[in-house]
Amino acid sequence: MHTTIIITFGLILLALMLYIGEKIGFTRQTLAYGFVGLWLALTLINGAVGVVHAGQPLSMELMVGSAVFGVPVAALVLFMVLTTET
């Protein structure tokens, strides 16, 4: 359940960054790089908390962390491909 919540949070963060960032005037490329960097940092922090405080094995956190990081980034890539400006 925690993994689903974190992935949902990532998708909401992605949507907010794209919406607000475009309203402010940032390019999509800048927003994409910013999101990937921020989401990677948040995923690493989430994994570290899982290992240190929750006692999860590192191998399990690496598997779950790759899904937590990958799903919102895949959504970003899909968005960028489907909304290319010509």
pLDDT in tens, 15-43: 999 999 999 999 999 999 999 999 999 99
- pLDDT for 86: 53
Provide the H-helix boundaries in the chain: 2-24, 28-52, 58-82
Contact 35, 15 (CB under 8 A): no
Please choose, from the candidates 70, 76, 67, the residue with its C-alpha nearest in 3D space to the C-alpha of residue 33.
76
Neighbours of 27 (CB within 10 A): 10
- pLDDT for 85: 67
